[in-house]
Structure 1
Amino acid sequence: MSCSVSYPFTLCANRMESGRRIYSPDEYILDAKWLIDPNHLFVGPKIGEGAHAKVYEGKCKNQTVAIKIIHKGETPEDIAKREAQFAREVEMLSRVQHNNLVKFIGACKEPVMVIVTELLWGGTLRKYLLNMRPGCLDRSVAVGFALDIARAMECLHSHGIIHRDLKPENLLMTADHKTVKLADFGLAREESLTEMMTAETGTYRWMAPELYSTVTLRQGEKKHYNHKVDAYSFAIVLWELLHNKMPFEGMSNLQAAYAAAFKNVRPSAEDLPEELATIITSCWQEDPNARPNFSQIIQMLLKYLYTNSLSEPSVPPRIFMSENIVLPPDSPGTRSLMPVRDDTGDTPKAMMEDKPKGFFLCFNQCY
Structure 2
Amino acid sequence: MYDLSIKTKRSQFVKKLRHVIRKVKILGRNRRRGGGIKKTKPNKKKIKQVQRKKKIKKRTKKKKKKVYVKRLKNTRKPKTKVTIEAEEIPVTKASAIILGKVLGQGGFGKVVEGKFQGRTVAVKIPLRKEDFEEALIEFKKLRNFRHRNIVEAIAYCKEPAMFVMEYMAGGTLNSWLHDGNNKYTPMNWFQGLALLTDISRGVKLLHDTSLLHGDLSSNNVLLTRDHTTAKISDFGSAQLIEKYINASLAGQIDEAVGAFRWMAPQRLRFSKPDNYSDVWSYGCILIEFLTHPRKIPFAAAGTAQLIAKLESYIEGDIRDLRIDLGEIDPDVPPLLQDLMYRCLKAKRVERPDYGEIADKLEYIHNWVTKKHSNSHSKFKTNNKRVHSSDIRTWR
Shift of 1:169: 1.6
Q: After superposition, where does 1:1-367 map in structure 2 within 5 Å?
A: 7-8=86-87, 31=88, 33-73=89-129, 79=130, 82-109=131-158, 111-131=159-179, 132-185=182-235, 187-188=237-238, 198=242, 200-201=244-245, 203-213=259-269, 223-243=271-291, 244-248=294-298, 250-263=300-313, 264=316, 265=318, 266=321, 267=325, 271=330, 272-308=332-368, 309=370, 310-313=372-375
Determine helix, strand or coil for the equivalent of 1:223.
coil
What amino acid sits opposite 1:118 in the alignment?
A: E
Q: Distance in 2 between matches of 1:209 and 1:199?
A: 17
Q: Distance in 2 between matches of 1:122 and 1:102?
A: 13
Contact 2:211–2:236 (8 Å) recurs in 1: no
Determine helix, strand or coil for the equivalent of 2:309.
helix
Shift of 1:61: 0.8
Shift of 1:253: 4.8
Distance 1:103 1:224, change over 3 A: closer
Q: Distance in 1 between matches of 2:128 and 2:267?
A: 28
Shift of 1:150: 0.5
Q: Distance in 2 between matches of 1:123 and 1:270?
A: 24
Question: Does 98-107 or 293-302 show the bigger shift?
Answer: 98-107
Partner of 1:341: none
Contact 2:263–2:277 (8 Å) recurs in 1: yes
Greater relative contact order (CA < 8 Å, ≥ 6 in sequence): 1
Determine helix, strand or coil for the equivalent of 1:148.
helix
Determine helix, strand or coil for the equivalent of 1:112.
coil
Determine helix, strand or coil for the equivalent of 2:335.
helix
What amino acid sits opposite 2:271 in the alignment?
A: K
Contact 2:151–2:232 (8 Å) recurs in 1: yes
Determine helix, strand or coil for the equivalent of 2:261.
helix
Describe the superposition over 1:46-91 as per-residue Cα deviations: whole angstroms up to 9, x where unpaired.
Answer: 3223334332211111111111222444xxxxx3xx2431332222
Shift of 1:142: 1.9
Q: Distance in 1 between matches of 2:277 and 2:290?
A: 21
Q: Distance in 1 between matches of 2:209 and 2:301?
A: 35
Distance 1:257 1:205, change over 3 A: farther
Query: What is the percentage of aligned positions where both structures have the same residue?
Result: 26
Gap regions ≥5 residues in structure 1: 9-30, 74-78, 191-196, 214-221, 315-367
What amino acid sits opposite 1:313 in the alignment?
A: S
> Size of the alignment, in residue pairs?
265
What amino acid sits opposite 1:312 in the alignment?
A: N
Shift of 1:40: 2.0
What amino acid sits opposite 1:130 in the alignment?
A: H
Determine helix, strand or coil for the equivalent of 1:176.
coil
Shift of 1:127: 1.6
Q: Distance in 1 between matches of 2:99 and 2:289?
A: 34
Q: Normalising by structure 1, what TM-score?
A: 0.65
Distance 1:250 1:107, change over 3 A: closer
Shift of 1:198: 4.5
What amino acid sits opposite 2:163 in the alignment?
A: I
Shift of 1:200: 4.9
Structure with greater Cα Rg: 2
Partner of 1:318: none
Describe the superposition over 1:120-160 as per-residue Cα deviations: whole angstroms up to 9, x where unpaired.
Answer: 11122122122212223123322221101101111111122
Gap regions ≥5 residues in structure 2: 1-83, 246-255, 377-395
Q: Normalising by structure 2, what TM-score?
A: 0.61
Contact 2:261–2:299 (8 Å) recurs in 1: no
Q: Which has the higher helix share?
A: 2
Contact 1:207–1:257 (8 Å) recurs in 2: no
